[in-house]
Amino acid sequence: MLLLFMDLETTGLDPTRHRVIEIAVKAIDSATGEIVGSYETVVKQPYEVWERRDSFSIEVNGFQWNEVSKGMEEADVGHFIVGLFKQWGVERGKAVYVCQNPAFDRSFFAQLVDLYTQERLKWPYHWLDFASMYWALTVQDCLEKKIPLPVELSLSKDEIAKRYNLPPEKKPHKARNGVDHLITCYSALFQSARVESPTISSQQIA
């Protein structure tokens, strides 16, 4: 199975108003832990899109107009991703997406490659939620230890990282940083749970 670790940065939270300004994805073979391929780019947007940006989102990802204005054209990014996924062998039943917030990433990813094209190419429609993986293992652990579920539980990636003595994600929150940190947390989560999972080294992430 191919694991497509993905993160996107945008001008805001609303896909009907805001647009993608960065994408990063790494494809990893779940059987071997080897990186099949990776891609990252800044996505160019016109100034009228930049004017509609959400200031908090831009504060988080740290983008400036001069970066966004020099990115790759949105349509070209979509065409390039289609070619890459074909090269990597991305196909329904043989690949899944893994994200920290798949509801967010999936809606914005469709701006780059529309849903009908994704369906025509038979890309996976399962977007796995890393926070839900952590929640499921927490429930399992509580059941095995016969203890109640926690009253409060943060599902942020940085808090999950802290649970496994990992550093927080590098700031500002760029898509490449998000993908690399997600892979590190994913590997730690399943190794800790003693579930058969690929061992992904820091050298592979780099």
Instruction: Write down the residue that tokens 């494809």 correspond to.
Output: 27
Number of domains the chain is built from? 1
Listed in sequence order, the DSSP H helices in the chain are 47-51, 55-61, 65-68, 74-88, 102-112, 115-120, 130-145, 157-163, 175-192, 202-205
CA dihedral 104→106→112→117, nearest 10 degrees, is -160
pLDDT of 99: 97
User: Residue type at 199?
Assistant: T
pLDDT digits (tens, 9 = 90+) for 86-143: 999 999 999 999 999 999 999 999 999 999 999 999 999 999 999 999 999 999 989 9
Q: What pLDDT does 196 receive? A: 46
Q: What is the pTM of this model?
A: 0.91
Q: Where does the pLDDT of residue 204 fall: very low under 50, low under 70, confident under 90, or very high at 90 and above? A: low
CATH code of the domain containing 64: 3.30.420.10
Mean predicted lDDT score pLDDT of the chain: 92
Question: In angstroms, what CA-CA distances link 99 with 64, 157, 170, 184?
Answer: 25, 10, 17, 13
Domain that holds residue 197: 2-205
Q: Is pLDDT of 197 > 70? A: no
Strand partners, 8: 23
